[in-house]
Amino acid sequence: MREISHFIDGAAFAGQSGRFGDVFNPNTGEVQARVQLATTGEVDQAVASALRAQQTWALVNPQRRARVMFEFKRLVEANMDELAEILSSEHGKVIADSKGDIQRGLEVIEFACGIPHVLKGEYTEGAGPGIDVYSMRQPLGVCAGITPFNFPAMIPMWMFGIAIATGNTFILKPSEKDPTVPVRLAELMMEAGAPSGVLNVVHGDKAAVDAILDHPDIKAVSFVGSSDIAHYVYSRGTANGKRVQAMGGAKNHGIILPDADLEQATKDIIGAAYGSAGERCMALPVVVPVGKTTADEVRERVLAELETLKVGVSTDAAAQYGPVVSQAHKDKIASYIQMGVDEGAELVVDGRGFSLQGYEKGFFIGPSLFDGVKKGMKTYNEEIFGPVLQIVRAETFEEALDLPSSHQYGNGVAIFTRNGRAAREFAARVQVGMVGINVPIPVPVAYHTFGGWKRSAFGDVNQHGMEGVRFYTKVKTITARWPEGAVEDSAFVIPTMK
């Protein structure tokens, strides 16, 4: 049985807890490895390593840190196929989706390659008589990230890329369900030239999370996961004096106005709702057609698309999506489907009976479709996080606008229309953090920022982009005045960066 260890101080680190978690192959349902689960002791050792490394890493000039990021990017690209295969084997998403997972993380690394520019401070000459005022951004110290199973490459790179580039060191606690890719990323970071201790990986469950939240030498924590845990992480971390950004759940809506390109909108919604088996916080599990005619046509078009949708093993290049991550998660999705039936919604397509020949023990679930879903139903209020699309019919633009605005989650939303005025008004008024206009999954590019509203995000600062730089640095402002006197002549030598 393959054993996945921690990665501390630049090397594999055997934990002493004696506790392990099973890592499954979702395609077959079989245990393929076991991962060590940390105690407070392993977290302490990772922090000690990160503290030692940070004292010198913070003194490395930004251009040299950027060179490490450039080399890390090159190495990840060179190992893309290997990383995608590992990711798919532990998560279940198809290979093309795994490569997208890695690529979106690399885009944040690309942003981090420009860190010498974004770290430049502000300067005012002559703010007073002989007085200049300037500011600088300095690293916080040791930072940590707690990441979910659904993006084991992208979300860690969102966090540690910016944190390390700005001069911090980092402790990553990835999901124990698919932990191998995060370890490989740490190995590649060392190969890229980062000193030992700059990036550490500690596996674990709640014990490791609490150790991170309580450790006095960890200055900032970034989290992505469910809203209940996000709230817990935010509350406990901030109570211990840490900076915390905690991204939670989502229930993203796709509003379809009668003038939309229904053919394109339907294809977009199918990909956004069922891609990666719906295991995305930016998935689009709710479609809101405006008007009965639009709703009836959208329903028929979705049904037609579902007939062509292929579910397969993660290595099947023709498959649109693969299995979900675990049997427990498959059972949870199935329970929500039954809940929807019990609440009175119309189950148009039931994916619970899906089975893939030769992979009967895999964690597969077919696409499901509900119509007649109403505001107030539990299945509408909560995040299902699976291949389930719900149709919520609206009679007017105002009713459609109210649905995402009044929902407990406010992560993302999309509107499909040819009407520029309607799109502009919707974007301005909707109470959601990220908006797509004829874009079904409105994940911002890496030099902008990612973050939702309401119970989708706890904390005041978003992920990556300039918001990420602000999160992982603190501003120091200097007011300087120099005594008057003779200026001595001195030799002038062109400075070089060696």
Instruction: List residues bridging with 290 in a β-sheet.
Output: 394
pLDDT score recorded for residue 341:
98
CA separation for the pair 20, 479 (Å, rounded): 54
Write phi, then psi, for 253 (nearest 5 degrees): -110, 145
Q: What is the mean pLDDT of residues 423-432?
A: 98
CA separation for the pair 136, 237 (Å, rounded): 26
CA separation for the pair 109, 446 (Å, rounded): 9
Residue entry with tokens 């302490």: 44
Predicted structure pTM score: 0.94
Hey, what's the torsion of the CAs at 146, 269, 355, 344, to 10 degrees? Answer: 100
Residues 376-421 pLDDT 10s: 999 999 999 999 999 999 999 999 999 999 999 999 999 999 999 9
Q: What is the mean pLDDT of residues 478-482?
A: 93
Q: Two tokens at 6? A: 């921690």
Per-residue pLDDT band for 495 (boundaries 50, 70, 90) equals: low
What residue type is assigned to position 452 of the chain? G
| Contact between residue 430 and residue 404 where contact means Cβ atoms under 8 Å apart | yes
| Contact between residue 260 and residue 197 where contact means Cβ atoms under 8 Å apart | no
Cβ count near 317 (within 10 Å)? 8
Strand intervals (E) in 283-433: 286-289, 346-349, 368-371, 388-391, 409-410, 412-416
Write phi, then psi, for 432 (nearest 5 degrees): -140, 145
Q: Two tokens at 84? A: 């995608």
Is residue 281 flagged as an active site residue?
yes
Q: Is residue 122 classed as helix, strand or coil in its secondary structure?
A: coil
Per-residue pLDDT band for 484 (boundaries 50, 70, 90) equals: confident
| Residue 411 DSSP label | S
CA separation for the pair 165, 446 (Å, rounded): 15
What residue type is assigned to position 240 of the chain? N
Longest dimension (CA), the chain: 88
Between 374 and 495, whose confidence is greater?
374
Instruction: List Cα–Cα distances, 436 to 34, 265, 444, in angstroms.
Output: 40, 12, 9
Residues 199-228 pLDDT 10s: 999 999 999 999 999 999 999 999 999 999
Half-sphere exposure of 6 (CA within 13 A, CB side): 33
| Contact between residue 409 and residue 454 where contact means Cβ atoms under 8 Å apart | yes
| Contact between residue 430 and residue 252 where contact means Cβ atoms under 8 Å apart | no
CA separation for the pair 392, 8 (Å, rounded): 49
Residues 271-320 pLDDT 10s: 999 999 999 999 999 999 999 999 999 999 999 999 999 999 999 999 99
Residues 103-134 pLDDT 10s: 999 999 999 999 999 999 999 999 988 899 99
Q: What is the mean pLDDT of the chain?
A: 96
* Sign, Cα dihedral of 378, 382, 384, 390: positive
Q: What is the mean pLDDT of residues 446-461?
A: 95
Identify the active-site residue in 47, 281, 365, 384. 281
Q: Is residue 445 classed as helix, strand or coil in its secondary structure?
A: coil
Q: What is the mean pLDDT of residues 465-469?
A: 96
Cite the DSSP H helix spans in 113-153: 115-118
Residue entry with tokens 């603190």: 474
